[in-house]
Structure 1
Amino acid sequence: MWCMRFEAKNGHFKRLVKGNFKNIPFSLAHQNQLYICHRLLSSTSYLSNQTVVQNGKAVDFSYHPLTDRLLELLNQPQQLPVWVFSASSLSMCGVVYKIGSVIKIPAIDPDSDFSLACIDLIIVVNDQNFFVYRRLSICDFNDHFYSYEVQQSPAIGIIQCSGLVQQCALCLRKVAGRLLVTDKVSTVFHVPGLSN
């Protein structure tokens, strides 16, 4: 596992502990919580529900296989042509979604909490945002990279942005011929032998 990100985080704590030798764990935890709280509360994009759509163009969606599903989500009768605005990226609640980003969508399988999908198109219609996605099938969980091994599936779908399981964009990487999906924002490590 690559450790440079952990070393960078460690450097932050080394700066905090300089000259402070009383109750170091409490001091570090307290200072880190204050820092995170400051970042979250001072970030307008994290707290606001403002949506920012980046660069795009008007596209005729009339002959797309998901046109009927889009009209059903919009509660509109079938009328052609169906014009949509296709964006290159979309920012919601501080999370930037781009074409190729991975999202968590509601699961098909009742035993699973979520499914993974790769964004093919970001479309805006009547101030409503939608992701056209290609479903990813989860093969296995890779403990070494702490990521999901996935395979691309031919199944496509469309979901309104508010229908996501979790507001986060995951990262899709190809490592040694395998497609891996990792969390960009936070990673939780489970240490064997320690209980929660």
Structure 2
Amino acid sequence: MKKSTLITTIAFGFMILLSSNANAQKFPDLDKSPMDVASYPTDYKNADKLAKVTYSRPQLKGRSLDELAPAGKVWRTGANEAAEITLYKDMKLGETKVKAGTYTLYAIPEKDNYTIIISKDLNVWGSYFYKVANDVARLKVPVTEGTDSLESFSMVFTKADNGIVLNLGWDKVRVAVPFTE
């Protein structure tokens, strides 16, 4: 066999191996609680962000909010992995200074208020491995009621006089979490 024919045969075999491996990949279906990102400023063209939260968006689907985010229990603030919040500059949550960086965002829902928790844990699935010892900051914020019911859990940042507010909404529950500069 000529040298060029041997090289061609080997190259052809390698391409078949690669193409058969690519065809063998199994890609997952869409997640039932898709991941989303909220940031401030909200304009995607503005790269100079102050904060960003990455979270999964569970849906009610006929279930009660109490069933999905039980009162008095630490909740991952979404679905799947615990929500992660990134602050691009030092900010305060209540009276506690939180240094710029990425943190896990938890909440403890109650009827009249939510305790918002910033934790130094990262890459955590759910709230199963939550450790109070890793809390960086906690703030109790009041619950208000929206006029419309939101089927999917949602978060959005808004501008405030001295910082930003992370707004959480699901069903008719609304929670505003102030971050000050």
TM-score, with length taken from structure 2? 0.26
| Structure (1 or 2) with the greater helix fraction | 1
- Highest Rg: 1 or 2? 2
Structure with bigger RCO (C-alpha 8 Å, 6+ apart): 2
**Scaled by the length of structure 1, what TM-score is found?**
0.24
More strand by share: 2
